[in-house]
Amino acid sequence: MSAEQLKELIPFLHEQNPQVRQIALANLVGHTPKDAPNRQIFFAGLSGGGLQQQGDNQIIRDLKLLCRDQLATAHDAFRALVNLSDSPLMLGPLSEPSFVNFIVSYILNHQATLADLASMLLSNLTTSTSVCSTLLNLTVSILPDPKSPTLYFPVQSQCGTCPAPVPYPAGEPRSVGALPLLLDAFVQGAAAEETEDKEKRIRKGTLHFLSSVFANLSTTPTGRMFFLTPLPTDPLKSEGDLEYPLTKLLGGVASTIKNCAFHVQAHRALLSSESERVAVPPSTAEASGMDILPYVLLPLAGPEEFDLEDQELLPPALQFLPATKTREPDSVLRLTHVETLLLLCTTRWGRDYMRSHGVYEIVRALHENEQVDKISEHVERLVNFLQRAEGPDTQDDTASGIVEAAEDAEADEDSRIEEI
């Protein structure tokens, strides 16, 4: 189809007949990827620059509404917006508050059939710092729902692929911070993937792409402080036991952990065991230590045997690993974990802690087996920091070179745009 023929389909996106809407969108969605020759029809009337919030055009307004349509149509609408969201021209129209609220509320609904596509869209949008700021301050309206496995119903999630519960929950809606709920949803999605019986899964989606959302948020100082500020363990309650939000992500979001390690004041809380209560200055609120070292080291460990004296230095989870233990095969993840360890070397306390917990032994074995030059170079720097002599002049070593190198890698890694 030519661009002119495609434009003739646009008015049919808001036809009353649902079949007409579906057919029109099915013919348009294939033209949304980055390399599609007629992609420019979706950007008609949009322009960058200026101080005003960029408005949207008719086709983008239709696509946002069609995300609430029946399954086939909503799937294609989400898919189209995921592909188009790589353009800066789309950030204004797609970051409109009511639409972001819908996306987040939809992801939070455990019955949302297309929650993974919505998570992918949110991941692309949060490559913008302005969208990150919106999400960090976002509240969603919920109703208590004791029959739901999540115990709440996100009011703004109701749509064709996410009907309201029957009977409709009683009571008055209340506003709750969106991010703590997204953290719990991410954990539940990961658990759902491990449950073979689909009928027993809490959520229909695995929500993998929320890991990219959290990584994007943690590239901003405010985002890092969200993960490093104690909050109630249960996001539906304003009181109760406190924990660092980052604790819920351990083992699943390597980039977020690394980004939080940029905050030097948090190193003691990041490394301390769960039995210790630690605050992240300047805050005085204490919560259990996050004990991230086992999660960072385990992917870097192989089947090597160590002397008993060295074994005893290691965290319990890394002692006496089986001969079948293999290292993380993804070189990007291995590099991310090594960069996290380098960032934790920027404080004398962090270096001493890692020396006394067997980090040198693990990374020395990693270096002997590593085939990627960039990772080997970073490991060599890490070894130099761990093996060097300490003195009064190294008490507060900011190691700016470490931070600069990690920031370069962060810029390359955490702003990826997904396309389907």
Residue 195, in any domain of the structure = yes
Q: Are 69 and 160 in contact (CB under 8 A)?
A: yes
Residue 129, in any domain of the structure = yes
Residue 112, in any domain of the structure = yes
Number of domains the chain is built from: 1
Helix/strand/coil for 196: coil
More confident residue, 92 or 100: 100
Task: Say how many Å lie between the first and final Cα of the chain, rounded.
Answer: 20
Residue 171, in any domain of the structure = yes
As a whole number, the mean pLDDT across the chain is: 90
Mean pLDDT value across residues 146-168 = 95
Beta bridge partners of 288: 277
Residue 367, in any domain of the structure = no
pLDDT of residue 52: 41
pTM over 0.85: yes
Beta bridge partners of 139: 177
Percent residues over pLDDT 70 in the chain: 91
Q: Are 107 and 115 in contact (CB under 8 A)?
A: yes
| Token couple for 324 | 């079948």
Taking the C-alpha atoms of residue 420 and residue 418, their distance in angstroms, rounded to an integer, is 7
Residue 334, in any domain of the structure = no
Taking the C-alpha atoms of residue 327 and residue 155, their distance in angstroms, rounded to an integer, is 44
Confidence tier at 232 by pLDDT (50, 70, 90): very high
Residue 71, in any domain of the structure = no
3-state helix, strand, coil in the chain (%, to 5): 55, 5, 40
pLDDT tens digits for 6-51? 999 999 999 999 999 999 999 999 999 999 999 999 998 886 544 3
- Which one, of 376, 383, 387, 365, lies nearest residue 335 by Cα? 376
371 C-beta neighbours (distance < 10 Å), count: 7
Q: Is the pLDDT of residue 97 over 50?
A: yes
Residue 378, in any domain of the structure = no
Confidence tier at 1 by pLDDT (50, 70, 90): confident
CA 62 distance to own-chain centroid? 28
Taking the C-alpha atoms of residue 387 and residue 381, their distance in angstroms, rounded to an integer, is 10
Taking the C-alpha atoms of residue 76 and residue 55, their distance in angstroms, rounded to an integer, is 22
pLDDT of residue 70: 97
Structural domain containing residue 182: 97-217
Taking the C-alpha atoms of residue 58 and residue 103, their distance in angstroms, rounded to an integer, is 19
Strands of the 152-154 sheet, one edge to the other:
152-154, 139-144, 174-177
Strands 242-243 and 174-177 come out as unpaired
Beta strand ranges found along 1-75 (DSSP E): none
Mean pLDDT value across residues 265-284 = 96
Radius of gyration (C-alpha) of the chain in whole angstroms: 24
